[in-house]
Structures are given as C-alpha cells and as structure tokens.
Amino acid sequence: MIIVLKPEATKKEIKHIEDKIHELGLKPMLSVGKERTIIGIIGEEDKARIQPFEAFPGVESVMQIQKPYKFVSREFKKEPSVIKIAPGIEVGGNEIIIMAGPCTVENKERLISIANAVKKSGAKVLRGGAFKPRTSPYSFQGLKEKGMKFLYEAKKITGMPIVTELMDPRDIPLFLKYSDVIQIGARNMQNFELLKEVGKTRKPVLLKRGMANTIKDFLLSAEYIISEGNHNCILCERGIRTFEDTTRFTLDISAVPVIKKLSHLPVVIDPSHCSGIWDYVAPLSKAAIAVGADGLLIEVHDDPEKALCDGPQALKPHKFDALMQEMRGIASVIGRTIA
C-alpha cells in the first residue's frame, strides 16, 4: 500500500501517519520525490487495509499496488521516469542516450583518446570500469581509485559524464566524488546491502540485470534502491544465460517492452556483454533502438587486440561511428533522436 501525500502536508501530519503505521506493527517508508512525496507501507498489507488512511490530514490518496514491487511499478507512476544524469543529459526522454567507452580504464592517454573519439561520434556518456568484477581472481582487476581519477580527468577534458561500476559500499564516497552514474553490475544485481547503500545516495544508478535473473527479480532489485529514497534508477538489460552458447549470453530483447509495461523506469541495452562478439554489436544495437530502448551501453576500444578486458566484443572507433549513423536512421523512423 502506498499513501500519496498532498504537496502541502506538514511534518506533523506526516509523523502522525507514520506513528499510526508503527502502531499497526508495520514499517513506513517515506520517499520524498521530485513529483510527489509518498509513504510506502512495508509489511502485511491486510493490517494496513483496516485503517482509513484517506481520512488522515495531509493525505491525497491511498493506492493498493498488486505487484510485489511497488515504487517501480506502472501502477504507482503512469508517466515514464526521466532520469537526469548531467545538465542537458536525461535518460527516458525522447532522446536515446548512447554511453560508450572501454570495458576498463587502462591508462589515462588511452581513456582520453577513446573518450574524444566516442564523443565526436555522438556518445553522451563515457563508460569505463575502474573496479572490475572478473570471474577469475587472476585477471586484471582494474586501476581502482587511480582509474576513478582518470575518468574524472576525462570528464573534465571532454565534458562527458561518467558511468562506472561500484562493487563495494566502502567505495561509495569515491563514486560520489568522481562518477555521475553508479553502475551496479550483473553479478551484484542481488547484492541487497549494496543496493540499499546506493539507494541512500541520490546519484543516478544504472542497474544491470543479473545473468540468471527474471524480470521480476530485476524489478525487485530496483525496488531496493527506490524504497531507500533514490528514485534515479535506470535499468540495463545485458543478456541472460540460456542453453545457447554461440554467444556469451542471450540478449532478452523482449525485456524492453515487458519492463516498459510493468514499470515506469527507463531501460538501456548493453549489446556488448550480451553477445561478447563485436560483429554482433551493430545488429543488436539497431534492434535495441527499434524495440524502444532509452539508451545503449557500448564498449569501444581503439586497439581491441591489446585490450586488458573484453577485447573481442569492443568496437573500433570507426565502426562505432558508422553504427551511430545507422542508429540515427532507425531512431528517426520511431520518432526519437540520437545526438
């Protein structure tokens, strides 16, 4: 159950409602949004139903949400959410936002050169991992804090906001300082303590779908972030494990319309990790635009043969540039734009 408050609801009125919820043995979850302030009731819904919250001062309406996830659901919010990640850069609006860059930050010069190249082609956000979730502990683990500083330098030079992966809540201060979007990787989609911690910040979060998780699991993970008060959540479909093994994962293209029906959150597709092979990145990217994705997260490297991570799936800058041209054509057919 969700109680929507009147814009003019006072602190005293809110406290009165919260006290009543506690009295019923339930937990109130106050969420102060840009558009409205709500109190989510966590616990057994039946207990809350007996209380006519509509009659309380400061209450605009009371909503019964049927889905297991509440704040992320379309029932809760009809209009699509538009997440602002930097001045003039919003995900979920008419413009499709392209995020591109290397899998991992390798050194400053290479990062800046790739950043300049993708920016020239129209990418709006620079991606690059400084903390890498590698399957093997012996693989390159990322430049860590040094990598974060290189990303920040690349941002100062190019003006591009940064999306980069967080794995450990102890690094949040570093991410608040140097990043614009906190990426939660597929392997951490159900790291609930990590989700709660990013939920306590107000930084935009790019939450990637776990490789073996259903859309329901995915939306419940987003609910962890939003129920802590951070409404700036962007979802990213990056491929799931199936019996098919010619590609690294299988892109669940239907996730885009399905999520858009169930949720108001914007959806981005990662065509690089789902296939694992650069040759498939362009066709999958074009499909992503056509199916209604609000953005793409694409790996680009100027020398994939020497890449420290994920070289086989990286697009060279000239291929990325050609893909951008093709994607603009598809976007215009469906009435959207790409820079």
- Residues in contact with ligand PEP by the rule CB under 6 A: 103, 129, 133, 165, 185-187, 208, 238, 270, 273
Q: Which does 133 bind (CB under 5 to 8 A by kind): Mn ion, ligand PEP, none?
A: ligand PEP
**Three-state SS annotation for 150-204:** HHHHHHHHHCCCEEEECCCHHHHHHHHHHCCEEEECHHHCCCHHHHHHHHHCCCC
Q: Which does 238 bind (CB under 5 to 8 A by kind): Mn ion, ligand PEP, none?
A: ligand PEP
List residues bridging with 184 in a β-sheet: 207
Where does this chain touch Mn ion (CB under 5 A) — which range of 58-66, 196-204, 218-226, 302-310? Answer: 302-310
Q: Which does 196 bind (CB under 5 to 8 A by kind): Mn ion, ligand PEP, none?
A: none
CA neighbor of 77 nearest in space, from 245, 194, 231, 256: 231
Q: Which does 223 bind (CB under 5 to 8 A by kind): ligand PEP, Mn ion, none?
A: none
What residues contact residue 164 under an 8 Å CB cut-off, 6+ apart?
127, 128, 129, 130, 131, 147, 148, 151, 175, 178, 179, 181, 182, 183
Q: Is 250 exposed, middle or buried (0-12, 13-18, 19+ CB in 10 A)?
A: middle
Separation of CA 93 from chain center: 14
Q: Which does 260 bind (CB under 5 to 8 A by kind): ligand PEP, Mn ion, none?
A: none
Which one among 240, 310, 314, 315 touches Mn ion, defined by CB under 5 A? Answer: 310
List residues bridging with 263 in a β-sheet: 73
The residue at minimum Cβ distance from Mn ion is: 103
Q: Which of 214/332 has CB closer to ligand PEP?
A: 214
Cβ proximity of 307 and 314 under 8 Å: yes
Q: Which does 251 bind (CB under 5 to 8 A by kind): ligand PEP, Mn ion, none?
A: none
Could you give the string, one character per residue 80-109, with x where binding to Mn ion holds by CB under 5 A and - elsewhere?
-----------------------x------
* Sites for Mn ion among residues 108-137 (CB under 5 A): none
Assign 6 to helix, strand or coil.
coil
Residue carrying the six token digits 């959150």:
265
Cβ proximity of 71 and 312 under 8 Å: no
Q: Which of 51/188 has CB closer to ligand PEP?
A: 188
Q: Rounded to the nearest whole angstrom, what is the least distance from the CB of residue 133 to ligand PEP in the complex? A: 6
Q: Rounded to the nearest whole angstrom, what is the least distance from the CB of residue 60 to Mn ion in the complex? A: 45
Instruction: List residues binding Mn ion (CB under 5 A).
Output: 103, 310
